[in-house]
């Protein structure tokens, strides 16, 4: 990474695809941060406009006007957040100077196995050498690797909600791998900002439905990460996502069997100890279950453990 402005200790940041939900969320998080300065915002469909024209609530922040990706001036950029759709990210990232840190929020670099990516997303992976440099961006699990990475592949939304509770238990060989069931629910914004009839208010409001049964794109991502830490070569994993009539938030209910030598307390203590120093991951005790309202608009992931004797 090129030198940061030492006088102000500021990292100059560019956000590619700044007008989508992911881009807007990044702007919200970065604006109040004392160590980041947004110097470039891109949108190929809205280039030439200001952010306040599209999002009036941003009119007092003096953000840079939108430009096309091809018109980026990289000379004053230290880090880039890439928020463009999967399948388009690879070639964009390949053109970015090597001394700039990249955080990719698409799915393009989440799979170590390029063939699995192509099978899952139906898109040719054109940057296999870059894939070898990418680190899976689940910070609490891969923090040490992420610190030295030049390309970080941010996890999917559902995988984050599933892997944070499960991976410590898999790493510590506490749970069985032959019967894991995940029942997940997501708000509508998880599908992105593009217009789709099935996501119109009148289609979603007052309803609740499952989708992507058996073949949701996040299932292979979750499985590949679980197998990275499992001593077993067999995984029986069921994943069913549901669409909630809310704007944002994810709730995942995860069912698994612990090995006979481990108790409920062992499971609870494992998670409590693993995340003791992680400010954004909270284990709730005292027989209380988390709600999406508990984490709305924050960086937090909250979970709790319950034991069913039957």
Active site residues: 157
* E strand spans, 73-130: 79-82, 101-104
Q: What letter does residue 100 receive in the DSSP assignment?
A: S
Query: How many CB atoms lie under 10 A from the CB of residue 269?
Result: 15
> Which pair of structure tokens corresponds to residue 130?
């870059």
> Mapping DSSP to helix (H, G, I), strand (E, B) and coil, where does residue 309 land?
coil
DSSP per-residue string spanning 138-179: -HHHHHHHHHT-SEEEPPPHHHHHHHHHHHHHHHTT-B-SS-
Token digits for 13? Answer: 């940041």
Dig out the tokens for 234 from the structure. 């067999």
Q: Which of 168, 104, 172 is nearest to 136 (CA)?
A: 104
Structure tokens at 38: 């947004």
Q: How far apart are CA 71 and CA 48, in angstroms?
A: 11
| Token couple for 19 | 């007008």
Phi then psi for residue 294, to 5 deg, are -70, -20
């Amino acid at each position: 990474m090129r030198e940061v402005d030492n006088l102000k200790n500021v990292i100059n940041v560019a956000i590619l695809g700044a007008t989508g939900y992911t881009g807007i969320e990044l702007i919200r998080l970065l604006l109040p941060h004392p160590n980041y300065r947004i110097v470039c915002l891109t949108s190929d469909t809205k280039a030439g406009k200001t952010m306040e024209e599209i999002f009036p609530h941003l009119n007092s922040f003096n953000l840079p006007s939108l430009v096309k990706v091809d018109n980026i001036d990289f000379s004053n950029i230290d880090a880039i957040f890439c928020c463009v759709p999967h399948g388009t990210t690879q070639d964009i990232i390949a053109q970015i100077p090597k001394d700039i840190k990249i955080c990719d929020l698409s799915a393009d670099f989440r799979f170590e196995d390029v063939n699995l990516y192509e099978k899952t997303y139906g898109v040719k992976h054109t940057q296999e050498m870059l894939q070898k440099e990418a680190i899976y961006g689940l910070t609490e699990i891969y923090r040490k690797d992420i610190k030295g990475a030049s390309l970080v592949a941010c996890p999917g939304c559902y995988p984050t909600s599933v892997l944070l509770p499960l991976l410590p238990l898999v790493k510590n060989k506490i749970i069985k791998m032959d019967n894991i069931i995940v029942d997940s629910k997501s708000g509508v914004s998880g599908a992105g900002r593009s217009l789709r009839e099935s996501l119109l208010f009148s289609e979603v409001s007052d309803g609740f439905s499952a989708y992507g049964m058996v073949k949701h794109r996040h299932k292979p991502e979750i499985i590949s990460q679980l197998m990275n830490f499992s001593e077993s070569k067999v995984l029986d994993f069921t994943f069913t996502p549901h669409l909630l009539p809310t704007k944002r938030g994810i709730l995942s209910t995860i069912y698994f069997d612990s090995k006979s030598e481990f108790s409920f307390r062992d499971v609870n203590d494992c998670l409590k100890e693993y995340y003791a120093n992680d400010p954004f991951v909270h284990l709730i005790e005292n027989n209380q279950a988390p709600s999406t309202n508990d984490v709305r608009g924050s960086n937090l992931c909250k979970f709790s453990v319950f034991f069913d004797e039957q």
